[in-house]
Amino acid sequence: MEEFIKYIIKNSDYLLELMVQHLELSIFSVLAAIIVGIPIGITIARYNKFANITLNLISIIFTIPSIAMFGLMLPILGTGNLPAFIALFLYSLLTIVNNTYTGISSVDKGIIEAGKGMGMTNLQILFRIKFPLSLGVIFAGIRTAVVINVGITTIAAFIGAGGLGKMIFRGIYTVENKVILAGSLSIFLLAVILDYIGRIIEKRFSHSYQK
Amino acid sequence: MGEITLTSLAGYVINNVPFILEMMAYHIFYSAIAIFAAAVIGIILGILSARISRLSFLINISAVIQSAPDIVMLALMIPLLGIGPICALAALFIKGVLPIIINTYAGIKNIKPGVVESAIGMGMSRSMILFKIELPLALPVIMAGLRAASVINVSTMTLASYIGVNGLGILIFRGIAMYEGNILIVGSILTSLLAINTNFLCGYFEKRAIKWKQ
């Protein structure tokens, strides 16, 4: 136990550096997914014909284990941060599109009709009614995507990306329990904290419209 | 990474059918054991949490632990249980039991209270209510939890191959180690297919449960 604490204190700057790498990968990929995913979600909510196919395709890709996805990318994209970023982008894209679609589709029809009655164009309805009301669900998707990405980034360390996963793999390779624990607990903490922050932000978005 | 064409992929598969089948069998076998144990304990704990309000902290704990990534759970088990199938099964069990507990709890909690009350009024015993009313009504939600747990298990089982546990993941890690693209791709495709099919199969049972409920 003391060894463990000594190890963390001695290597705290390495740990911090890995954590920053980890966060960079996880969060930037979610940002990219938000930019691409929310428009896609809005589009399939509008054109329902594509919704079913897109969502089915999405859920199929989502069940692919991340290590298998990396395995498929390795021959084409090599190792390092690039395949990691792309895989992370894909997985979070799926979550965000799904939640955007659900959020926008489940806006109360009555409110939309009221908007139409007031003479709003479709675009205005989208930005003034649908989008604000579905922000809660959309943000839940963002939160989920971030937490999932923290996990997948861990595995990405195996194919050469940065992040706290490197510490776990190093620990397993050198059979050093304290290294494994240091890496795992850091990632666990990271996931829990990000999830918690996400839930707080999510509540602020949903409550404003649930009077 | 070695020449990779459809023919070379097929070539690897054809030349190694017994090995591939053995790994697939281990994969399914280990996952099945973990899911079975997780289902039994998860459903029991879920029912208990729904019944005894003091135990509802279990749900909060489960939600927190659930946000831990798969590999972290696996890595945490290594210092405790050593490297090998046991720690993999332990990690699979923990990752699987959590969604089952949460879903069982949610399923039972969402039954309209009137239904249970009228059953009590009709003189049904507590266990009869559980088995004839509560569980059947909660079944679709429980099945959804089982489906999520199964897919997570197949996925985590793949990771366990990194520490030498037999399974389809062995193909992936061997492919990376030997820098042999064929093995890697075959492993990745087979793992993906297994996960997709598990999801599909459980989804089918889930839909049947929904229909049966009606």
Q: B27-72: per-residue pLDDT in tens?
A: 999 999 999 999 999 988 888 888 777 677 778 888 888 888 888 8
Tokens 């940002």 sit at which residue? Answer: A31
Whether A168 sits inside 8 A of B75 (CB atoms) is: yes
CB B62 within 8 A of CB B95: no
CA closest to A79 among chain B residues: B176
Whether A159 sits inside 8 A of B4 (CB atoms) is: no
Query: What distance in Å separates residue B121's CA from the closest CA in chain A?
Result: 37
Whether A155 sits inside 8 A of B196 (CB atoms) is: no
Among A63, A152, A180, beta carbon nearest to B79: A180
**Residue A187 contacts B, CB cutoff 8 Å:** yes
The pLDDT value given to residue B139: 87
Confidence of residue B90 (pLDDT cuts 50, 70, 90): very high
Among A63, A154, A158, beta carbon nearest to B72: A154
- d(CA A147, CA A143) in angstroms, rounded, equals 6
Whether B158 sits inside 8 A of A64 (CB atoms) is: no
Tokens 């210092």 sit at which residue? Answer: B79
Query: What distance in Å separates residue B41's CA from the closest CA in chain A?
Result: 24
Q: Which chain A residues are closer than 8 Å to B158 by Cβ? A: 65, 67-68
pLDDT of B101 > 60? The answer is yes
Q: Which chain A residues are closer than 8 Å to B195 by Cβ? A: 63-65, 68
**What is the signed CA dihedral for A96, A102, A140, B201, rounded to 10 degrees?**
-80
Q: Which of B65, B48, B68, B64 is nearest to B56 (CA)?
A: B48
Size of interface A-B (CB pairs under 8 A): 114
Whether A177 sits inside 8 A of B78 (CB atoms) is: yes
Phi, psi (deg, nearest 5) at residue A55:
-65, -35
pTM confidence score: 0.84
Whether A154 sits inside 8 A of B71 (CB atoms) is: yes
DSSP-assigned letters across all residues of chain B: -----HHHHHHHHHHTHHHHHHHHHHHHHHHHHHHHHHHHHHHHHHHHHHH-GGGGHHHHHHHHHHTS-HHHHHHHHHHHH-SSHHHHHHHHHHHHHHHHHHHHHHHHHTS-HHHHHHHHHTT--HHHHIIIIIHHHHHHHHHHHHHHHHHHHHHHHHHHGGGT--STHHHHHHHHHTT-HHHHHHHHHHHHHHHHHHHHHHHHHHHHHHHHH-
CB A147 within 8 A of CB A191: yes
Whether B155 sits inside 8 A of A150 (CB atoms) is: no
Query: What distance in Å separates residue A50's CA from the closest CA in chain B?
Result: 21
* Domains defined for chain B, CATH in brackets: 6-213 (1.10.3720.10)
Percent of chain B beyond pLDDT 90? 25
Whether B169 sits inside 8 A of A67 (CB atoms) is: yes
CA closest to B147 among chain A residues: A63
pLDDT of B203 > 70? The answer is yes
Q: Which chain A residues are closer than 8 Å to B64 by Cβ? A: 192
CA closest to A147 among chain B residues: B67
pLDDT of B157 > 50? The answer is yes
Q: Which regions of chain A are under pLDDT 70?
A: 207-211
**Residue A150 contacts B, CB cutoff 8 Å:** yes
Which residues 82-141 in chain A show a CB within 8 A of chain B? none
CA closest to A194 among chain B residues: B67
The pLDDT value given to residue A7: 80
* Domains defined for chain A, CATH in brackets: 2-207 (1.10.3720.10)
Whether B154 sits inside 8 A of A150 (CB atoms) is: no
Q: A64: how many CB neighbours lie within 10 A of its CB?
A: 23
Whether A188 sits inside 8 A of B72 (CB atoms) is: yes
**ipTM for the whole complex:** 0.82
Q: Which chain B residues are closer than 8 Å to A95 by Cβ? A: none
**Residue A1 contacts B, CB cutoff 8 Å:** no
The pLDDT value given to residue A211: 43
